[in-house]
Amino acid sequence: MAYTVVGKSVRRVDAVAKVTGKAKYTDDFAERNMLVGKILHSPYAHALVKSIDVSKAKALPGVEAVLTYKDLPDIRYATAIPGIIEAIATDDVTVAELKYGTAGHPYSLEESHRDKEDRNILTQKARFVGDNIAAVVATDELTASKALKLIEVEYELLEVLTSTDAALKEGAPLIHDDCEGNILSAKGYEIGNLEEALQESDHVIEGEYETSIVQHCHLENQVSHAYVDSDRRIVIMTSTQIPHIVRRIVAQSLGISWGRVRVIKPYIGGGFGNKQDVCIEPLNAAMSLAVGGRPVRLELSREESMIDTRTRHAFKFKIRTGINNDGKINGIHISAVSNTGAYASHGHSIASSGGGKFRYLYPTKALKYDPITVYTNLPVAGAMRGYGTPQIFFAFESHIEDIAKQLNLDPIEIRKKNVVKEGHVDPLSKNTIRSCSIRECIDKGRELIKWDAKKALYKDQTGDIRRGLGMACFSYASGTYPVALELAGARIVMNQDGSVQLQLGATEIGQGSDTVFAQMVAEVLGIPMYMVHVISTQDTDITPFDTGSYASRQTYVSGMAVEKAALEVKTKVLAFASSMTDVPAHLLDLKEQAVVFKDSGEKVLGLEVVAMQSYYDRVNAQPITSDVSNNARINAIPFGVTFAEVEVDMKTGKIKILEIYNVHDSGKIVNPLLAEGQVHGGVSMAIGYALSEQLLFDEKTGKPLNNNLLDYKLPTIMDTPDIGAAFVEKEDPTGPFGVKSLGEPPIVSPAPAIRNAVLDATEVAFNRIPMNPQRVFEKFKEKGLI
């Protein structure tokens, strides 16, 4: 379809605010003389607090409160302003006994579908180095830090389980008393008859693959401010992707009714899934309650943020694939072990979700997926861009490459032979593939990287510097349907001049959603971008309900609500114009800030005339607004491919990416410039995943070894090659304006593509990432190449 604003690279609506320093983030709202909160983290990975003495800390001048697991119930009954905090508390549940889940999922009315509740605000049992034992509120940061050092804790040390093997061993101590075998979940699936499918295959090929723990490293650390307002409600301003969910979880963590919490989300400095979780807000609320509701600021340092928020799960895979001589796959069996760290967070759903999104790419007669998610004494793993897919696609796209090599099949042809076709209905989710351009994406990537010419050129290399090509495919989803609720809300108010305010529950976290939503509204209402004012701040008291930014859902799911709200405004404008002119509304349309005749385009009334009349007509005045919710009970499956070319120094093990292209089938692209930006960022993060990033821990003690931005090898501008982004645009019939998701997809396939390129160059298969210089060197040595 031809659009005026949708599909154009218009300027971000927040770009000017961000280049001038006017965009305000949580900590930019800090009040003068705000109290400062700090956390006492456990130095032990697995230990019981035998005794804790806070008297010296409490006696330090400037300390306003010290909290431990023991004090939490008292917050509500003793140290708070009389008559205020009691009124917040419900009956006789003590906070210390309250366990809550932190994962940023929509709530479920079915108990069995809720997140695992395994966390206290402060704990008596340390389950990882960094666990929250106590907290201090003081007049300033230095005093708070000093006070932490004065808290005397005696620990009883327990056996430390850092690996899934150790945690799964018979007789291993339980990290959570109610969780037998330290297994958080084991939800897989089986489609068809696997053994039969493997038996009738010409070959059954096996492989083992492994990924490492990495971290989001959003530039803004977790930070929040909390206070109790005069209406006795807890107000929290926080750097989050999910304000409405934070509100629920804070209330649950304190055992108070949900309406007693108000959450405000200003601009945020990146999230990548880490802020699709509730890490600091419950403690921040407890801190404020402990000082009579005064404002308290809680900001994590980078070192804290890297271990005491969330990480990406490390996975180990075993794969068996039954395949015929012609390359047709009959059956796949994937076993996975996921290391979820000390608390559940999203752990129970990530392994399942990765396996679910994988299912769309290569439908086979039989597919069996056996994941287990295991508690260990490492920092908590949670949601991170891709949500389980970077792991499973690294494994399978490496595996299929190994199969191609072993059977002497062309790596592109083997994929093309097995990838899904339009019309396929997933047997489990019942989601239908209504648009699929994966083959076109592959063809485009092949052309961009000049695959055929280079493949011929790089045959039989023997020198110290060798080049290779690799590729990998992926499938994803647009939101979580049918697993979870996909509700979104949007509200539009038209001003007297025909411009509008757009209010959303969906959150801008840097990806550009505010801009694409504004484009959608401008498109429907026939107005220019500058007449759409997006209210970027979410405030749970004011903004429509929407679960927030995750699962690459917003352009698709929240976009549906935005389109619906804009269409309602359009209908009302045309009806009002009709009442002013007696021209039937169905003959009218909106274009270039005017009501026009649909057929001829002839102007009937200026939009501002209608808008003005809607405010001040002495008989019919009714300003034009809409306020809608949309429950998306549908999903659209995006696809894509990475092509990479690498150069490997056989003497040093250094891998250099020469060219890399991501080609995406994400339906209609609303804003090509912003879409390319998403691809660049995702690919860059994936390059780190493939080549350099890994959060390291001492195996025996669980102590972090590189939780800072110097030792954790985040790609800098020097490490990042030119990244090519391309799209095959085919509108999906279900999405607003034909869109499918794009936020997370770019991170899924680069790592296996790079790994396959290294294999092509060196004949060495790296089945574990990152392929950092140390590991490449060791592997080359093992292979006798060095």
Partner 1 sequence: MYKRIAFTVNGKAYDFEVDVRESLLDVLRSHLGFTGAKQGCGVGECGACSVLIDGVPTDTCIYLAVWADGKEIRTIEGVAEKNGELSEVQKAFVDEGAVQCGFCTPGLVLTTTALKESGKDYTREELKRELSGHLCRCTGYQNILKAAEKSLEGHVCTCVDSPHYKGE
Would you tell me which residues interact with partner 1 (CB under 8 A)? 5, 8-12, 14-25, 27-28, 30, 32, 142, 216-221, 267-270, 272, 301-302, 509-512, 522, 528-530, 673-674, 676-677, 680-685, 708-710, 714-718, 720, 722-723
- Residue 529 Cβ vs partner 1, minimum distance, rounded to whole Å: 5
Please say which residue, 256 or 594, places its beta carbon nearer to partner 1. 594
Q: How far is the CB of 313 from partner 1 (least distance, A)?
A: 19
Q: In angstroms, rounded to a whole number, what is the distance separating the alpha carbons of residues 137 and 62? A: 9
- State which residue, 5 or 604, has the beta carbon closest to partner 1: 5
For residue 460, how many other CB atoms are within 10 A of its CB? 4
The set of residues, in sequence order, having a beta carbon less than 8 Å from that of 71 and lying 6+ positions away, is: 79, 290
Residue 12's contacts (CB-CB under 8 Å, 6 or more residues apart) are 18, 512, 514, 515, 674
In the complex with partner 1, the residue whose CB is nearer, 620 or 708, is 708
Residue type, 521: V
Contact 227, 235 (CB under 8 A): yes
**Smallest distance, Å, CB 386 to partner 1?**
14
Widest CA span of the chain, in angstroms?
Answer: 90
Residue whose pair of structure tokens reads 């965009």 in the numeric block:
23
Q: Phi, psi at residue 135, to the nearest 5°?
A: -145, 155
Closest contact distance (angstroms) between CB of 45 and partner 1 is: 24
Count of alpha carbons within 13 angstroms of residue 288, beta-carbon side: 28
Q: Are 683 and 642 in contact (CB under 8 A)?
A: yes
Q: What's the closest the beta carbon of residue 528 comes to partner 1, in angstroms?
A: 6
CB of 694 to partner 1, least distance (A): 16
- Tell me the C-alpha distance between 47 and 157, whole Å: 4
Q: Would you tell me how many other CB atoms lie within 10 Å of the CB of residue 91?
A: 5
* Shortest distance in whole angstroms from residue 385 CB to partner 1: 10
Name the residue nearer to partner 1 (CB basis): 199 or 708: 708
State in angstroms the smallest separation of the CB of 510 from partner 1. 3
In the bound state with partner 1, the residue whose beta carbon lies nearer, of 13 and 158, is: 13
The Cα–Cα gap between 185 and 593 comes to 55
| Shortest distance (Å) from residue 708 CB to partner 1 | 7
Q: Which is nearer to partner 1, 272 or 317 (CB)?
A: 272
Distance in angstroms (rounded) separating the CA atoms of residues 552 and 340: 22
Give the shortest CB-349-to-partner 1 separation in angstroms. Answer: 24
Nearer to partner 1, 24 or 113 (CB): 24
Nearer to partner 1, 18 or 783 (CB): 18
Q: Given the DSSP bridges, would you call strands 189-191 and 125-126 parallel, antiparallel or unpaired?
A: unpaired
The residue among 192 and 715 lying less far from partner 1, judged by its C-beta, is: 715
By beta-carbon proximity to partner 1, the closer residue of 20 and 600 is 20
CB-CB contact of 499 with 518 (8 Å)? no
Q: At what angle do helices 750-762 and 672-691 cross, to 10 degrees?
A: 50
Q: Measured from the CB atom, is 23 or 658 closer to partner 1?
A: 23
Residue 485 CB, shortest distance to partner 1, in Å, is: 27
Residue 759 contacts residue 768 (beta carbons within 8 Å): no
The answer to whether the CB of 311 falls within 8 A of the CB of 218 is no
DSSP strand pairing (532-535 vs 500-504): parallel
Closer by beta carbon to partner 1, 145 or else 620: 145
Check: CB of residue 174 under 8 Å from CB of residue 377.
no
Q: Which two tokens stand for residue 631?
A: 């429950």
Lookup: tokens for 22: 């006017």
C-beta separation of 37 from 92 below 8 A? no
Q: Where are the beta strands (DSSP E) in 588-742?
A: 588-591, 594-597, 603-606, 625-631, 639-649, 655-665, 723-727
Residue 657 Cβ vs partner 1, minimum distance, rounded to whole Å:
12
Q: Closer to partner 1 by CB, 17 or 587: give it.
A: 17
Tell me whether residue 418 or residue 671 sits nearer to partner 1 (CB atom). 671
HSE on the CB side for 704, CA within 13 Å? Answer: 29
Three-state DSSP class for residue 786: coil
User: Is residue 760 classed as helix, strand or coil in its secondary structure?
Assistant: helix
In the complex, the smallest distance separating the C-beta of residue 518 from partner 1, rounded to whole angstroms, is 10
CA atoms within 13 A on the CB side of 510: 19
- 653-679: burial string, b at 16+ Cβ within 10 Å, e else: bebebbbbbbbbbbbbbbbeebbbbbb
Nearest approach, Cβ of 224 to partner 1 (angstroms)? 15
For helices 411-418 and 438-448, the axis angle rounded to 10 degrees is: 160
